[in-house]
Amino acid sequence: MNVPISPLANARETDASFPVEVYRRDFPILAKTVNGNPLVYLDSAATSQKPRTVLETIERYYTEFNANVHRGVHWLSEQATRLYEDARGKLQRFIGAAEAREIIFVRGATEAINLVAQSFGRTRLQPGDDIIVSHMEHHSNIVPWQILCEQTGANLRVIPIDDAGELQIDAFERMLSPRTKIVAIVHVSNSLGTVNPVERIIRSAHREGARVVLDAAQSVPHMPIDVQSLDCDFCVFSGHKMYGPTGIGVLYGKAEWLEAMPPYQGGGDMIRSVTFEKTTYNTLPYKFEAGTPHIAGAIGLGAAVDYLNSIGMESIRRHEQELLSYAHSRLQTVGNVKIIGNAAKKAAVISFVLDDVHPHDVGTILDQQGIAVRTGHHCCQPVMDRYGIPATVRMSLGLYNNTEDIDALVRGLEVVRQVFGIANV
Amino acid sequence: MSDLRELYQEVILDHHKKPRNFRRLEGDVRRVEGYNPLCGDRFTVYLQMEGDIVKDVAFEGSGCAISTASASMMTESVKGKTRAEAEDMFQKFHALLTSPQIDTTGLGKLAVFAGVREFPVRVKCATLAWHTLHSALQGKEETVSTE
C-alpha cells in the first residue's frame, strides 16, 4: 500500500506558473483558525470560499448602485441594470454560449434542473417516454425527473456504474431509443470525482433525438467549459461552488428550446403586458426571471468569473489535477484508507472510507484539528448503496488548496487512527 | 485533543468495537427502527416486555462510534428495569446532553456521554437509540427519525 512520495510532487507547489500562496491571500477566510488550528478547507465541492473581489463587489453594489433592475428611469436603476446585464454577458462568454439571452439567472443548479423538468419536460413528455439519468447523479438530478415521471407517465432509466465509478457507456447506448426524450447527466460526480465522457453521451443522445441536460455544478469551477462545442441542450451550475455568492446560479439553454418553453413561474419582469384577459410574456431571458432577481448575487458571480478568468481555467484545472494525484498517492500511505471511486479521469474530489471508523467520527476528529471535510452520503444515496456503504469522507479541492492542506489531512487521519487505537500496519 | 478524549472515552470505544446485546430478538417483541438521515445511522431496537418489566432489549444496525456505543450501553442499562424506570432513564440521558446544567445523577456509566455536549452535531448520534427505545416503550411502530 505504501506509495513513495515523489519529491516532484512537493516541488510542484512552488511552480511559478500557479502561485497558489498568492491566490490564497485573496480569500480572507483562509486566515481563520478553527478549534485552535489554522483552517484547512477541503470542502469546496459543498461550497467554495469567496475571494475578496467578490465580497467587495457585492458591498460596492449595495453601497453605490442598489436599485431594482429593468424598472426605473432613474440613474441608479440604470446602473444596477447595466451591472446585472454585464454579469450575464460575463457568464455567457465564460461558458461559450452563443447569446446572452441563453443565460437565465436562477437560484442554483437545483432550481435550473427543476425549471427544465417542469417547463421543457412537462410539455413534451408522453406516457411511455424515457428519461435517462445515471447511477451517480446528485439527488437534485434524480428527484425533479421522478416528479416529472409521475406527472407525465414517463419512465426513469438509470445508467449503471462499474466498481471504479465509471459510467457503463455501452449500457447507456443500448438504453437509448426513439422513446428517449431527455438525458440528464452529471459532468463531474460530486461523490466519486468521476469526469464523465459527456461529449460522447451528448452525441449518442442527439442521434436518437433526445435532449441533454448537463449538470455542470462540479465541472464549471474546475475546468474550461464550452457549451457550444459540447453541444449540450441545457447546462446548469451554481454560483456558490465557483467562488461566487450563494443563491445565484445559471441555467444555460439553447435559444431554440428556451423560446419554445412556457414560463416556469409567473410574476413581475417576466411579462410584457398583463390584462385580466391575456398576459403576454417577456422575451428571453426575462421570461424565466419572474420577480426581482438576485441582483447582487448575479453581479457578485460576475466578479467571480472575472477572478477565475484572471487566473485562467486551464491553469486551475492543471493545478487541481496535480494536487489530486498528490492527494491520491498520499492517502494511499494511510493505513486502512480505501478510496471510493477510481475512475481514470477524475476532478477535484476524493471520497474514501477508513476501515472500522465511521465517516462521521472521522469528520469530528478532523474538525478538532481545523480540517473541514464533508462526511455523509453527499446527496447521493444510490451511489452509497452501490458500494454498500452508508457514507464516505470526502475531501474536495479548490484553486486555493496546496500540498500542505493534503499533508494536514494525512496527519489528521493518523490522529483518527490513534484515537481509535488502530495499529500501524 | 482533550475534547476528543472526552468524546471518545475508552468505555465508548470499547462498546463501539464490541457492542453488547447486538442481536435480533425473535418472538413476541416490539421492533422499532431509528434513522438519522443526516449521517445514515440506522438501528433496529428490539424490546421484549414481561408485564411492566423490560425482560430483554437488543439492537442491530450500523452507525458511528457514538451512536453504536450509546445503543450498546443503553441496552445494558435498561434491561430488567420497569417501564417507568426506563422512561426516566431516557429523560435523564436526554437532559444530560441537552439541558444547560450537567446532571449525571442516576445515570451510572452513561455519564461518559457528557463529553458529547461539546459536539452539538453529535448529540443526535448519542440519542438516536434512546429515542428509538422511547418509541418502543410507548408501543409505537413507525421509524424514528432524528430530523
Complex ipTM: 0.90
Q: How far is B6 from chain A (nearest CA, A)?
A: 11
- Residue B29 grid cell: 417483541
* Structure confidence at residue A13 (pLDDT): 44
Contact residues on chain A for B3, CB-CB shorter than 8 A: 368
Q: Is 90 exceeded by the pLDDT of residue A228? A: yes
Residues A320 and A372 in one domain: yes
Q: How confident is the model at residue A271 (pLDDT cuts 50, 70, 90)?
A: confident
Residues A276 and A354 in one domain: no
- Give B127's DSSP letter: H
A378-420 tens-digit pLDDT: 888 899 889 988 899 999 999 999 999 999 999 999 999 999 9
- Interface touch B62/A390, C-beta < 8 Å: yes
Encoded amino acid at B104, one letter: T
Tell me which chain B residue has its CA closest to the CA of residue A393. B39
B88 touches chain A (CB under 8 A): no
Domain C-terminal end among A255, A277, A310: A310
**Distance of alpha carbon B34 from alpha carbon B46, whole angstroms:** 11
Q: Is residue A121 within 8 Å of residue A147, measured between CB atoms?
A: no
Q: How confident is the model at residue A425 (pLDDT cuts 50, 70, 90)?
A: very low
Q: How many CB pairs under 8 A join A and B?
A: 52
Residues A44 and A171 in one domain: no
- Give Cα separations from A361 to A266, A378, A393, B89 (angstroms): 46, 16, 10, 26
Which residues numbered 355-374 in A keep a CB inside 8 Å of some CB on B? 356-361, 364-365, 368
- Interface touch A391/B40, C-beta < 8 Å: yes
Residues A349 and A284 in one domain: no
Nearest Cα neighbor of A60 from A312, A302, A310, A308 is A302
Residues A67 and A191 in one domain: yes
CATH number of the domain bearing residue A354: 3.90.1150.10
Task: Report the 3 state secondary structure along chain A.
Answer: CCCCCCHHHHHHCCCCCCCHHHHHCCCHHHHCEECCEECEECECCCCCCCCHHHHHHHHHHHHHHCCCCCCCCCHHHHHHHHHHHHHHHHHHHHHCCCCHHHEEEECCHHHHHHHHHHHHHHHHCCCCCEEEEECCCCHHHCHHHHHHHHHHCCEEEEECECCCCCECHHHHHHHCCCCEEEEEEECECCCCCEECCHHHHHHHHHHCCCEEEEECCCCCCCCCCCHHHHCCCEEEEEHHHHCCCCCCEEEEECHHHHHHCCCCCCCCCCEEEECCCCEEECCCCHHHCCCCCCHHHHHHHHHHHHHHHHHCHHHHHHHHHHHHHHHHHHHCCCCCEEEECCCCCECCEEEEEECCECHHHHHHHHHHCCEECEEECCCCHHHHHHHCCCCEEEEECCCCCCHHHHHHHHHHHHHHHHHCCCCCC
**Distance of alpha carbon B55 from alpha carbon B49, whole angstroms:** 5
Identify whether A28 is preceded by a cis peptide bond (ω within 30 of 0).
Answer: no
Average pLDDT of every residue of chain A: 94
Q: How far is A375 from chain B (nearest CA, A)?
A: 8
A425 occurs within a structural domain: no
The beta-carbon neighbor of B13 closest among A376, A384, A421 is A421
B61-119 tens-digit pLDDT: 999 999 999 999 999 999 999 999 999 999 999 999 999 999 999 999 999 999 999 89
The beta-carbon neighbor of A391 closest among B39, B121, B122 is B39
Q: Is residue A222 within 8 Å of residue A251, measured between CB atoms?
A: no
- Interface touch A419/B8, C-beta < 8 Å: yes
Question: Into how many domains does chain A fold?
Answer: 2
Residues A207 and A355 in one domain: no
Residue matched to cell numbers 470505544:
B13
The beta-carbon neighbor of B64 closest among A361, A368, A415 is A361
A424 occurs within a structural domain: no
Domain C-terminal end among A256, A285, A310: A310
* Structure confidence at residue A17 (pLDDT): 85
- Which residues make Cβ contacts (< 8 Å) with residue A11, sequence separation at least 6? none
Contact residues on chain A for B4, CB-CB shorter than 8 A: 364-365, 368, 415, 419
Q: How confident is the model at residue A269 (pLDDT cuts 50, 70, 90)?
A: confident
Catalytic residues of A: 379
Tell me which chain B residue has its CA closest to the CA of residue A419. B8
The range of the structural domain enclosing residue A92 comes to 54-310
Residues A17 and A160 in one domain: no
B122 touches chain A (CB under 8 A): yes
- Which residues make Cβ contacts (< 8 Å) with residue A193, sequence separation at least 6? A165, A324, A341, A343, A346, A347, A348, A349, A350, A351
Domain C-terminal end among A310, A330, A364: A310
**Distance of alpha carbon A380 from alpha carbon A136, whole angstroms:** 7
Q: How far is A91 from chain B (nearest CA, A)?
A: 34
Residues A58 and A99 in one domain: yes
Residue matched to cell numbers 431554440:
A256
* Structure confidence at residue A54 (pLDDT): 98
CATH number of the domain bearing residue A130: 3.40.640.10
Which residues numbered 52-111 in A keep a CB inside 8 Å of some CB on B? none
B1-16 tens-digit pLDDT: 678 888 999 999 999 9
Tell me which chain B residue has its CA closest to the CA of residue A37. B1
- For chain B, domain boundaries: 2-145
- Interface touch B3/A361, C-beta < 8 Å: no
**Distance of alpha carbon A141 from alpha carbon A125, whole angstroms:** 17
- Interface touch B40/A365, C-beta < 8 Å: no
> Which residues on neighbouring strands pair with residue B90, listed in sequence order?
none
A2 occurs within a structural domain: no
Residues A112 and A27 in one domain: no
Contact residues on chain A for B125, CB-CB shorter than 8 A: 360
Contact residues on chain B for A358, CB-CB shorter than 8 A: 39, 63-65
**Distance of alpha carbon A69 from alpha carbon A83, whole angstroms:** 9
Nearest Cα neighbor of A297 from A252, A255, A242 is A242
**Topology of the domain comprising B2-145:** Sufe protein. Chain: A (3.90.1010)
Residues A128 and A234 in one domain: yes
Which range among A174-178, A241-245, A276-280 shows the weakest confidence by mean pLDDT?
Answer: A276-280
Contact residues on chain B for A357, CB-CB shorter than 8 A: 65
A384 touches chain B (CB under 8 A): yes
Q: How far is B38 from chain A (nearest CA, A)?
A: 7
Residue matched to cell numbers 476501515:
A355
Residues A305 and A327 in one domain: no
Residues A159 and A285 in one domain: yes
